[in-house]
Amino acid sequence: MSAPCVDTTNGDDGPSLEAESAPLPEDQGAEDQGAPVSVTDDREPDGPTRRCILTRAVRPREVMVRFVVAPDGVVIPDLDATLPGRGFWLSPGRDVVETATAKGSFARAARRAVSVPPDLAARVDHLLEERCVGLIGLARKAGQAVCGFEKVKALVASQRAAVVLDAWDGADDGRQKLESIAVTRGVPVFRALDRATLGRAFARSDAVHVALGPGGLARRLEADLIRLGRLRGRQGTGEENDPAARTSKGGAQRSRGTGGREARTGPLDPAQVGHRSGATRRTK
């Protein structure tokens, strides 16, 4: 007797929590469970977590990739985790997506026949890249992003940078200098994008060094850069950080790279961006 089909659509009101956490048959492997899970150690989770249906790794939801089955039976990525239907989560990584496709993990998790596009990993890659470009562009228009070596260095040195991006095809000397300064100040650095892609966010031919000030756009960008960096195998210094852990013991919202001060989310102060004193000094 064939296994019963599971309805993966739940209307237009967003994902169904009941469908998202529905138990699987006892004979189904744990690697195919896409439902929310709790961390089994003694620490309190910093935010929502999900289990990868292939590796069984438990990670913050923000750095996982969600997939759903469309009404026509095709598996599609849901990067915003807002599409209706039961979600299936994978750790970011091209090999993870390709292995899950080859092993039939989506079909087992859905308990029905599904169609998986052969270029699914490439589709996720493209969607994440466009999201990153869009977020950087929004930050630029809001006055929360700068590009260029001197401007980025000054922003990092003044402890007003939350995220730094270095083009992976940029010169090594400039990248190493900025990364050295950023690391000493706790600012994550990402190398998932090339100079032409970074340039698109600033309406120019290319950009090698980019930085965003603290705020919601920077946090969203960091989560997408973690996913894209792991998918492309181009990891910087920020991929192991948990972007979901944003609160101090007192509950105040804070961001890395602000020297412990509460993050400001308004436009960057041109006077601070232009301040270069101490840009090459290391903190003790």
Tens digits of residue pLDDT in 191-200:
999 999 999 9
Give the span between the Cα atoms of 38 and 30, in whole angstroms: 14
For residues 166-188, average pLDDT: 92
Q: Which residue has the higher pLDDT, 5 or 145?
A: 145
The CATH 3.30.1230.10 portion of the chain extends over 17-117
pLDDT at 53 over 80: yes
Nearest CA-CA partner of 144 in 204, 203, 212: 212
Higher pLDDT, 145 or 250: 145
The overall average pLDDT reported for the chain is 76
Q: How confident is the model at residue 267 (pLDDT cuts 50, 70, 90)?
A: low
Considering only CA atoms, which of 37, 26, 94 is closest in space to residue 61?
37
Residue type, 143: G
pLDDT tens track for 37-46: 222 233 344 6
Q: What are the tokens at 140?
A: 């630029």
d(CA 33, CA 26): 11
CATH 3.30.1330.30 domain locations along the chain: 122-273
CA atoms of 168 and 174, how far apart (whole Å): 11
**Structure confidence by residue, pLDDT tens digits, 154-164:** 999 999 999 99
DSSP 269: P
Q: Residue 196 phi/psi, 5° resolution?
A: -70, -40
What CATH number belongs to 122-273?
3.30.1330.30
Whether the CB-CB separation of 2 and 14 falls below 8 Å is answered with: no
User: Cα(186)–Cα(275) distance, rounded to whole angstroms?
Assistant: 19
pLDDT tens across 200-253, in order?
999 999 999 999 999 999 999 999 999 999 999 876 665 544 444 333 333 333
- pLDDT band of 271, cuts 50, 70, 90: very low
Q: Spell out the CATH class of 17-117.
A: alpha beta
